[in-house]
Amino acid sequence: MNHQKNSWIAVPQHSDFPLQNIPFGIIQYQNDTPHPATRIGDTVIDLFYLAEYGYFDSLDIKNLSPFSAPVLNDFIALGKQTTNAVREYLMKLFAEDNDYLKNDEKTKAMALIPVEEVELLLPLNIGDYTDFYSSIEHATNVGKMFRDPENALLPNWRHLPVGYHGRSSSIVVSGAEIHRPKGQLKPADSDQPVFGPSRRLDFELEMAFVTGKETKLGESVPVDQAEEYIFGMVVFNDLSARDIQKWEYVPLGPFLSKNFGSVISPWIVTLEALEAFRTASPKQDPEVLPYLSVSGEKNFDINLEVALQPENSEETLICRSNFKYMYWNMNQQLAHQTVNGCNIRVGDLYASGTISGSERDSFGSMLELSWGGKNPITLNDESTRIFLEDGDTVTMRAFCEKDNLRIGFGESVVKILPAV
């Protein structure tokens, strides 16, 4: 990869979307039907019009209908050989020394759109959603607060990627407004539960990967082949109602506390765009079973940030973390998900679980940042928080930086509205 190669499209300094990124998303522009696009700098590139005007003819793609579909599933299902060829072609097409499209004013007028003029939609039809629990720092913190501080991790945690199947219907795209959930809460001074709005609404800083290849029921994905099945990644905010969760999660785990809304960033960044940012995972002890054993660098150095903005005020950066802290990597997560023969489909989403580091300012949830409400966070406007309040906006950002190359994911933004 040539880190220094520039585009003839203007790319602002510190942009998440240089020529080397080429993420994929779904846009709606004026009265057009939704369809696939990519982005360089602050310019959205309409892939439907590039296909219409013959720009993908040289790639010998037999079926161009995925470029007009309202979600990316059909495009992703073309397979990595094809989707990678499209991405590489776009990098060449928009390189500063390529005049082929640069001089085609008619196509440019149709295909190049300022990002502020388009609506960014949910990029996938998400059939299934798994939420893992793969940060050892987060799991340890929660174990200390909810269970025995001396035995924070349950006996299985270091042996397998713990996870559960969540609700895909309530996954929404960045820019959403989500009402505070209601449910059963059990006050500490009461023997009986009460019903009402959550008083401990929280965010969870996560990343998620998208599967790009399907398997049949009974098949498993070998851990050393897992990346062949992973198309790309998004930022994922798994909103959580901690008080509802505490009462409901025994014996089967999260339910109403998690399924009222999760928010993803609109652009899917491919694994290929992240290649320069590979890094080693934390050392796993004890040694994992053979079906989970990996070699080489299977994690990625992705900087993560969370900002909280009260209504009519400025935002405060309250968390800086990193995806490289993940104890269980994506390869292991997918291998474990399928080792029992569970089949996967194109467009399924697999969230990492909350990503926390070892320092307080790297904790990926309000639960940890305020330590269960004992240590309020002071914001820039001098207000304090222990959990999210109505009117608060949570913005998550993710980006990689190395050797003057920055590859980013954009933002996952959500505003909390009062319960209804």
H-assigned helices in 231-289: 242-248
> Catalytic residue at 138?
yes
Query: Which class for 273: exposed (0-12), middle (13-18), buried (19 or more C-beta within 10 A)?
Result: buried
Token duo for residue 391 = 């009117």
Q: Which residue has the tokens 């928080």?
A: 385
Is omega for the bond preceding 286 within 30 degrees of 0, making it cis? yes
The single residue of 14, 138, 165, 179 carrying the catalytic annotation is 138
117: left (phi over 0), alpha (psi -120 to 50) or beta: alpha
What whole-number distance in Å separates Cα of residue 407 and Cα of residue 19? 9
CB 80 within 8 A of CB 228: yes
Q: Give the strand order in the sheet containing 112-114.
A: 112-114, 43-46, 35-40, 25-28, 119-121
Token duo for residue 137 = 């720092």
Residues sharing a CB contact under 8 Å with residue 416, sequence separation 6 or more, in sequence order: 177, 178, 179, 180, 201, 388, 389, 390, 391, 392, 393, 394
Active-site residue numbers? Answer: 138
